[in-house]
């Protein structure tokens, strides 16, 4: 372990003081291979600590533990209100220890600790509480059947909503704790047992969350956490005794999950990539739209699946608006996540830094003009200057492909030709922003956009109660809200001849 920061909370310092094992069957264990791997502080490119390097053998162990807990363990006999109390307790413990989670996330991911505490951790706690409430509200229905081939028969027919079984949850590095909460909370509320596979870049908050599940009193094997690389995720996706995979990550890996899942036709839900349009009409509230449009692509350093990275601005205000966006972006305070003043932290890894740098070069080579940014910031860590590109063509890679960095491409549009066709010109359909003071224009445009979430006069208008997911190649299924319970339950039809 290398010392990375001096002002860490004592519990965070203790947590990274030694290598971290993973959670299988209620025990903290090492990989069967004995291997570990380092997790890196992206602000310095130095190691924070090492974690167990789980692979297919460890995934198999975790699946067996989850299977036993589902089939034979106390979990399957617990009443909904007992599950409710345990899940609620996770929310409370997350709230009590929010500063710890915030610091650890900042260290591992690079995001500002203030945001990791106030947004990632607080929202995760809210998601656990919301789903705790849903545990007691999962219902089937009675069905008034006709049974025309059984004249004179009498029947009592009803449906049961039952858990799917053993669920593999695979999450990315951009919101490590939050993406885990999106999946864990409804999966557990519905009565499933789980194996969580955090991203290799950011395994630490998942392991700290494992401590919370143990402290809350979850029976052994209900929540298992296997740290590892893509091979561990692939083993989970292909495992014959896993009933469902819930995946958040790239569209490319999402397609591999679908392929791997076909062996036992396990259920699959996918939250994948995006290249979301953010549309500003000339009648928008200029100041609000500038601030919101900057946040749309710069929040989390652009490492958001929903990032509004295609900025469509109505032509009469295009030059003024993009200049104001560039000016506001250039003011962002860049620094390490542990600095309370930081607004824009480093990208998560060397790989991500190289990838985003490649898009900056490609944009400039294609002929785009950077109003601000366009290069690395500083000479240590994985920092990129926030970058606003204009003079772009729809065919440029910076307009078509997900960059996952603080980079936006701005394009003008004309009122008479409209904007919907351009906004929908993407393989993705995750989210969109619309800025206008004309109510009718807002609602009409919202209907025209092919995306799972549309936010009007705001961006990132998420709420725990609102379903979230993608159109087109942005995914299958909806997380959050009551919709998430559908992902983790299956319906049984029972028909009784009386």
Residues interacting with ligand NAD, by CB under 6 A? 170-174, 179, 197, 199-200, 229-230, 233-234, 237, 248-250, 253, 256-257, 271-274, 305, 402, 404, 430, 470, 474-475
Q: Name 124's Cβ contacts closer than 8 Å, sequence gap at least 6.
A: 94, 101, 177, 178, 180, 181
Active site residue: 84, 200, 271, 402, which one?
271
Edge-to-edge strands of the sheet including 407-413?
369-372, 387-390, 407-413, 310-314, 277-280, 431-435, 453-456
Q: At closest approach, how far in Å is the CB of 161 from ligand NAD?
A: 24
**Residue 145 Cβ vs ligand NAD, minimum distance, rounded to whole Å:** 39
Q: How far is the CB of 198 from ligand NAD (least distance, A)?
A: 6
* CB of 307 vs ligand NAD, minimal distance in Å: 8
- Shortest distance (Å) from residue 142 CB to ligand NAD: 36
Structure token digits, residue 218 = 């979850």
- Count CB neighbours of 169 within 10 A: 27
3-state helix, strand, coil in the chain (%, to 5): 40, 20, 40
- 343 carries an active-site annotation: no
Strand partners, 369: 390
Burial 170-185 (b: 16+ CB within 10 A, else e): bbbbbbbbbbbbbbbb
Contacts of 94 (CB under 8 A, 6+ apart): 101, 121, 124, 125, 128, 209, 212
Distance of CA 387 to CAs 251, 286, 398, 405, Å? 24, 20, 11, 9
| C-alpha–C-alpha distance, residues 455 and 380, integer Å | 36
Nearest residue to ligand NAD, by Cβ distance, number only: 233
Q: Which is nearer to ligand NAD, 126 or 271 (CB)?
A: 271
As to burial, measured by CB atoms within 10 angstroms (0-12 exposed, 13-18 middle, 19+ buried), residue 421 is exposed
DSSP symbols for 2-55: ----SS--HHHHHHTSS-B-EEETTEEE--TT--EEEEEETTTTEEEEEEE-B-
CB 175 within 8 A of CB 300: yes
Q: How far apart are CA 15 and CA 304, in angstroms?
A: 27
CB 425 within 8 A of CB 323: no
Paired strand residues for 28: 23
- Cβ-based nearer residue to ligand NAD, 258 or 364: 258
Question: Two tokens at 121?
Answer: 């951790």
Residues classed as catalytic: 271
């Amino acid at each position: 372990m290398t010392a990375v920061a001096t002002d860490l909370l004592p519990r965070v310092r203790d947590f990274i003081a030694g290598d971290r094992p993973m959670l299988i069957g209620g025990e903290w264990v090492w990989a069967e291979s004995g291997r570990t791997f380092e997790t890196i502080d992206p602000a310095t490119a130095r190691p924070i600590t090492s974690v167990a390097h789980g692979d297919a053998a460890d995934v198999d162990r975790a699946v067996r533990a989850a299977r036993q807990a589902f089939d034979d363990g106390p979990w399957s006999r617990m009443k909904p209100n007992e599950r409710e109390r345990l899940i609620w307790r996770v929310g409370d413990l997350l709230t009590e220890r929010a500063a710890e989670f915030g610091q650890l996330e900042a260290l591992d991911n690079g995001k500002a600790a203030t945001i990791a505490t106030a947004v990632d951790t607080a929202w995760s706690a809210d998601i656990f509480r919301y789903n705790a409430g849903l545990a007691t509200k999962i219902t089937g229905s009675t069905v008034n059947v006709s049974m025309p081939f059984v004249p004179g028969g009498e029947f009592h027919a009803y449906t049961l909503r039952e858990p799917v079984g053993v669920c593999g949850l695979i999450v990315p590095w951009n919101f490590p704790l939050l993406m885990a909460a999106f999946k864990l909370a409804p999966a557990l509320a519905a009565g499933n047992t789980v194996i969580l596979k955090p991203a290799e870049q950011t395994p630490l908050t998942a392991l700290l969350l494992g401590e919370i599940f143990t402290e809350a009193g979850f029976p052994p094997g209900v929540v298992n956490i296997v740290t590892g690389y893509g091979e561990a995720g692939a083993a989970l996706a292909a495992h014959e005794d896993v009933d469902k995979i819930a995946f958040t990550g790239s569209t490319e890996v999402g397609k591999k999950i679908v392929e791997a899942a076909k062996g036992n036709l396990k259920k699959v839900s996918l939250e994948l990539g995006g290249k979301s349009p953010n549309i500003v009409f000339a009648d928008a509230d200029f100041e609000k739209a500038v601030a919101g449009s900057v946040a749309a692509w710069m929040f989390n350093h652009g490492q958001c699946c929903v990032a509004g990275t295609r900025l469509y601005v109505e032509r009469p205000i295009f030059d003024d608006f993009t200049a104001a966006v560039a000016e506001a972006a250039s003011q962002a305070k860049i620094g390490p996540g542990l600095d309370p003043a930081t607004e824009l932290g480093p990208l998560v890894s060397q790989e991500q830094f190289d990838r985003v740098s490649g898009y900056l070069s490609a944009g400039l080579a294609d002929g785009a003009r950077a109003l601000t940014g366009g290069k690395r910031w500083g000479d240590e860590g994985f920092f990129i200057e926030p970058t606003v590109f204009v003079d772009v063509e729809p065919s440029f890679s910076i307009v078509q492909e997900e960059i996952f960095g603080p980079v936006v491409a701005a394009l003008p549009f004309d009122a008479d030709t409209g904007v919907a066709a351009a906004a929908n010109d993407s393989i993705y359909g995750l989210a969109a922003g619309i800025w206008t003071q004309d109510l009718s224009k807002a609602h009409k445009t919202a209907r025209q956009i092919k995306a799972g979430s549309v936010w009007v006069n705001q961006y990132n208008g998420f709420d725990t109660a609102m379903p979230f997911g993608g159109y087109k190649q942005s995914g299958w299924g909806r997380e959050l809200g009551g919709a998430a319970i559908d992902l983790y339950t299956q319906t049984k039809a029972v028909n009784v001849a009386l």
